Amino acid sequence: MIPYGRQHIDEEDIAAVVEVLKSDFLTQGPAIPAFEHRLAELSQAQFAIATNSATSALHLACLALGVGPSSRVWTSPISFVASANCVRYCGAQVDFVDVEAESGNLCISSLRHKLELARATDTLPDVVIAVHLAGQSCDMQQLYHLSHEFGFRIIEDASHAVGGSYHGKPVGCCQYSDITIFSFHPVKIITSGEGGMALTNNADLAKQMQLLRSHGISRDEADMTEPSHGAWYYQQLQLGFNYRMTDLQAALGLSQSNRLADFVRQRQHLAARYGQLLKELPLDPPDVPTDISSSFHLYIVRLHDKTRRKAAFDALRAAGIGVNVHYIPIHTQPYYQQLGYDWGDLPQAELFYERIISLPLFPDLTESEQDHVFSTLRAALS
């Protein structure tokens, strides 16, 4: 089967992991800060905090921004459930903003309208989590302007977007946000097996996330409530978590990061080729603005006739093509329906969902495999 996504592991990656296996450090060692430094450098951010998953990083980001039971956080319904679950882990109220019909990203006009209504009822959000669907950045400059007008903080859920750029600067630089989150799951742009990272330019936020990812424990005497008892001494200052990345994961991620630009270029080449192949079919391919460079974690097409989606999906799967759908709107999940959300609440997100199929896209996808995807899809839609 041709999967919708697949990692690329080479001999250098394997050697990097083997080197750690032969070392004295399997969990907490030198590969973690090296990986953090590398991602901060690539993203032009001042601080990077590696975690065992992007979900963990999202949770830490919320906590660092003070999200708690009295907080309100808004996010996109077109995402994996982690983009909203991280809010619920903090005991906070989550709400959703409708998306753009074309990109599936947070709709700025819908957000402004919702903010104006919330200001009138004194229910403005404390934080907005913007999801960069498929690797394409949201309109962060406009979101940043709204954050100043309405007084909220910003987390970029850039789980799909490492290696992408917005207005000529890398996603992750945090020019228009407080914290940016990356994912290194195997189907993402680069992988550490499982893993995530939070990036920020705020030293206080970085320190808080570093503390919380490791049980709330500090060995820094400057943080302690009494003089240190000795070199062995530590204090638990807060109730934190075991969200640490291992040296094994970091070694793989660090090795992969050396090929980040190559991976993104190949994904963009394949995306452009899809655009040419599919232009005569009754669907809309991704349309990325010229001032945004998508890393193309996913290649999502929107069928003109949503009633054809299931038949096309089934035909592609039957032909050994592992297409998928990204995503089922979060607000329609049973857990969120129990919180009061339902079908009909976010019409653009729901229409986007009903029309979409994610076609295979990964660096090792061959042109002959891509041609097979195209011909099978064309037959299914004819």
What per-residue confidence (pLDDT) applies to 278?
Answer: 98
CATH of domain 260-381: 3.90.1150.10
SS3 358: strand
Handedness of CA 201, 207, 212, 213 (dihedral sign): positive
Predicted confidence at residue 23, as pLDDT, reads 95
CB 51 within 8 A of CB 213: yes
Residue 362 is predicted with a pLDDT of 98
Stretches where the chain sits below pLDDT 50 are none
Give the tens place of pLDDT for each residue, 241-268: 999 999 999 999 999 999 999 999 999 9
pTM: 0.97
- Give pLDDT tens digits for 133-168: 999 999 999 999 999 999 999 999 999 999 999 999
d(CA 332, CA 227): 52
User: CA–CA distance from 70 to each of 73, 185, 189, 280 (Å)?
Assistant: 10, 32, 36, 51
Residue boundaries of the structural domains of the chain = 2-257, 260-381
Contact 368, 1 (CB under 8 A): no
pLDDT at position 31 is 97
Return the structure tokens found at 276. Answer: 């040419």
**Residues known to be catalytic:** 188
Q: What is the CATH number of domain 2-257?
A: 3.40.640.10
pLDDT value of residue 113: 98
Name the packing angle between helices 260-278 and 367-381 (round to 10°). Answer: 40
Crossing angle between the packed helical segments 11-21 and 247-257, to the nearest 10 degrees: 150
Asked if 178 contacts 144 with a C-beta cutoff of 8 angstroms, the reply is no
